[in-house]
Amino acid sequence: MADEYFFAAKEIRFEDSWDPVSEADIHRSVPEEFPGKDFFMECYASHNGGYFSQGVFLWRDRFYEVAPEDENLLEVEAFNFLPLFEEDESPVLRSIPEVRDSRRRHWAAFDMTDFIETHLPFAGDAGDHDYWIDLREGTIKSVRWEEADGSLVPKVIVVAPEFRSFCTHLAADRTRP
């Protein structure tokens, strides 16, 4: 399928996808059923992860009311890939299990275990912020970092109502829609 099917902006350059995966591979890696999984499976069967070589952007206020002091414009650098074998490594992309394991280790002090186990890290940005699918509700969330009492603490924000909306509302530039 063409990228335009998944990403409405024709200018989006989505490259460096990992080895193709079948629907059976996706079900094996992501057995949970969640709202929007059908589109997730179509996207990953066509493009197993990928890098946005010119970057893409998402305005949260396309879906939600966003307070002036909260982040509205978000950048997405890449979609993580689903490895077929445990030793699969990409020189460009991170794998979904790699991100999940890394966050398990680095976020242990923040009591984020339930979040990590009930969400799927499918994308990220250059600032090491991840985008996660809530495996119960299908909503897309991001973990950002904010200062509280002199320390950085995680802040989970809702980004999009589901995976299809997230993908189809990505923009090729920072221009407000």
On the question of pLDDT at 7 being above 70, the answer is yes
**Mean pLDDT score, 31-35:** 95
Q: How far apart are CA 107 and CA 87, in angstroms?
A: 24
pTM of the model: 0.92
Question: Please, what are the domains in the chain?
Answer: 7-168 (3.40.1580)
Instruction: Note the pLDDT of residue 3.
Output: 43
Band the pLDDT of 82: cuts 50, 70, 90.
very high
